[in-house]
């Protein structure tokens, strides 16, 4: 455990490297009343140290009601932060975020499902700490980065069954059925859906009536921007069903964040009309020594410059694209993982697991105290485990272990997978 005074001293030293300014705005048009958002810029890593601030932005697109979106908006951030170990330096904190985001998403889903409500929600959850941006997402809301250099980068992956072959294979392997809606006469219409339930998405929070193979485990991407800064556009599918990533970025070039968010919504409505809830957050990450200036369109001579799209949608390997982006000073990719298997996402703890001051173990998902004899390793009995030692941590309580087994298509009782 690092003393608080030492942490504050280290934070103060790191603050000599000036942090960017944030300017942000949000706009929306409602049709069903199921879109929600979160904008919080006064979070702190170290209590009592104002120089350790970070910001959180999120867009949540509910379906089958708004209960899941509201619950997630109000609880997800606390669940993520509770999964980050105490006493970490800034670099250690950033390194721990991807795993904490997985735990926070699963805990939020687990708690909401105990309420017995059948609604669900997509989540695109963005944490900005200095020049580092960490994005976690389930569903088909999206976050893009529009850099000062003119390239548009996708920081999320859509979990739509229609478009994501890997997710279709995972759902069917876990016991779900994927198909289109059948009408009288046997004709099939509409997008691919998961049955039972008929959901078009493969990942979400909530949706207790659909099946545990619709998982809340997020795709997570962490990048470090160059000191030129950039613009994030975070929006629900009401935007992305009308506009491509490049079109959305182009439509608001040169506008301050608040006006840019309104313009993106306006352009989506002009293109497609109000067919769904439509929400957009724009965040400008601005160098402190520069006047407030949103990303500018690239010079005309660069019109043929192709935008690089990061993530699994790209036809090029992500690492190859990352190298291209880094070479022109746009972004450095720090982390990317989209596996739906908890054993892969929670990693290992060679020390045997996180313990409390009383010597008890804690569940890696819900953070409840466990006696050494109570916890079950996330790697025990898992064919997806990267650990050769199934007695290693992190550990899960029995409830979280049952949820893990259900998401992987196993019986909660631990029956062998056929």
Q: CATH code for 4-159+214-337?
A: 3.60.40.10
Helix (H) or strand (E) holding 332: strand 331-337
CA angle, 201 then 202 then 203, to 5°: 95
Q: Which two three-digit tokens encode residue 329?
A: 């000073």
**pLDDT value, residue 412:** 41
Task: Write down the pLDDT at residue 74.
Answer: 98
Q: What is the pLDDT of residue 82?
A: 94
CATH 3.60.40.10 positions along the chain are 4-159+214-337
Q: Are strands 230-235 and 188-195 parallel, antiparallel or unpaired?
A: unpaired
- Pairwise CA distance, residues 62 & 206, whole Å: 10
- Show Cβ contacts of residue 260 under 8 Å, excluding neighbours closer than 6 positions: 25, 231, 233, 252, 282, 294
How far is it, in rounded angstroms, from Cα 167 to Cα 157? 11
Per-residue pLDDT of 40-85, as tens digits, reads: 999 999 888 888 999 999 999 999 999 999 999 999 999 999 999 9
Where do runs of H (alpha helix) occur along 114-150? none
pLDDT at 182: 82
pLDDT of residue 411: 52
Structural contact between residues 402 and 410, judged by C-beta atoms closer than 8 angstroms: no
Do the Cβ atoms of 229 and 285 come closer than 8 Å?
Answer: yes
- Among 342, 412, 337, 410, residue whose Cα is nearest residue 377: 342
Q: Which two tokens stand for residue 47?
A: 């209590």
Q: At a CB cut-off of 8 Å and minimum separation 6, what does 314 contact?
A: 154, 308, 321
Ranges of residues in the chain with a pLDDT under 50 are: 8, 12, 14-16, 292, 301-328, 350-353, 355-359, 383-385, 387, 412-418
Report the pLDDT value the prediction gives residue 289, as an integer from 0 to 100: 78
């Amino acid at each position: 455990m690092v003393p608080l005074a030492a942490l504050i001293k280290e934070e103060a030293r790191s603050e000599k490297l000036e942090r960017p300014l944030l300017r942000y705005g949000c706009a929306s048009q409602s049709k069903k009343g199921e879109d929600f958002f979160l904008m919080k810029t006064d979070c702190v890593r170290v209590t009592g140290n104002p120089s350790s601030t970070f910001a959180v932005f999120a867009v949540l697109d509910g379906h089958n009601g708004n209960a899941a979106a509201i619950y997630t908006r109000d609880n997800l951030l606390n669940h993520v932060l509770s999964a980050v170990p105490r006493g970490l330096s800034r670099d250690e904190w950033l390194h721990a975020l991807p795993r904490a985001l997985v735990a926070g998403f699963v805990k939020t889903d687990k708690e909401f499902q105990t309420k017995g409500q059948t609604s669900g929600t997509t989540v695109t959850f963005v944490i900005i700490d200095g020049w580092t941006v960490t994005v976690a997402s389930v569903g088909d809301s999206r976050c893009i980065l529009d850099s000062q250099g003119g390239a548009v980068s996708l920081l999320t992956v859509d979990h739509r069954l229609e478009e994501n072959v890997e997710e279709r294979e995972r759902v069917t392997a876990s016991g779900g059925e994927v198909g289109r809606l059948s009408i009288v006469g046997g004709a099939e219409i509409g997008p691919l859906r998961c049955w039972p339930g008929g959901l078009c998405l493969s990942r979400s929070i909530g949706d207790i009536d659909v099946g545990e193979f619709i998982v809340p485990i997020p795709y997570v991407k962490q990048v470090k921007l160059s000191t030129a800064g950039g613009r994030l556009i975070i929006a629900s599918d009401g935007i992305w069903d009308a506009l491509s990533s490049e079109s959305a970025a182009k439509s608001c070039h040169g506008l301050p964040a608040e006006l840019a968010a309104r313009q993106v919504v306006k352009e989506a409505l002009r293109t497609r009309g109000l067919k769904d809830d439509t929400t957009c957050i724009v965040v400008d990450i601005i160098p402190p020594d520069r006047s407030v200036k949103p990303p500018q369109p690239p010079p005309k001579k660069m019109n043929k410059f192709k935008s690089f799209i990061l993530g699994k949608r790209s036809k090029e390997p992500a690492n190859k694209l990352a190298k291209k982006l880094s070479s022109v000073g746009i972004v450095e990719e720090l982390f990317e993982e989209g596996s739906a298997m908890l054993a892969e996402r929670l990693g290992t703890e060679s020390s045997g697991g996180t313990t409390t001051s009383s010597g008890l173990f804690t569940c890696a998902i819900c953070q409840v105290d466990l006696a050494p004899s109570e916890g079950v390793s996330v790697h025990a009995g898992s064919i997806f485990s990267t650990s050769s030692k199934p007695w290693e941590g992190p550990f899960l309580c029995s409830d979280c272990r049952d949820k893990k087994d259900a998401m992987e298509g196993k019986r909660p009782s631990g029956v062998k997978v056929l």
